[in-house]
Structure 1
């Protein structure tokens, strides 16, 4: 029971982001995910092409 009281007190101190900040952070995560996806696709395609040229 003491644990839950501590959790409750800590949750009262949490400051949650506003709508604007939440939207901004969400867009940053989506943009970063897309960027990494494109980068991995380009690197994978380049490595695959390189290996196919070497193994020919």
Structure 2
């Protein structure tokens, strides 16, 4: 049990050392991530659709 308590004390100490982003930075990073994920999702959806159509044309 003491090891668990020591672990969480260590976690608490380390979390206080973390440099957390400010509000504007957090908003910018969030928008960047959402934009990137959306772009990649649309890109692979289009590639998947194109390959599916190509295979459908070949097999007909």
Question: Is the shorter-chain TM-score for this pair beyond 0.5, marking a shared fold?
Answer: yes
Aligned pairs, how many? 56
Which consecutive unaligned segments of at least 5 residues does structure 1 have?
none
Question: Once superposed, which parts of structure 1, at least 4 consecutive aligned residues long, lie more than 2 Å away?
Answer: none
Hey, what's the Cα distance between the residues in 2 that align with 1:7 and 1:55? 58
Structure 2 residue aligned with 1:50: 54
Report the counterpart of residue 33 of structure 1 in structure 2: 37
TM-score normalised to the size of structure 2? Answer: 0.84
Q: List alignment gaps of at least 5 residues for structure 2.
A: none
- TM-score, L = length of structure 1: 0.89
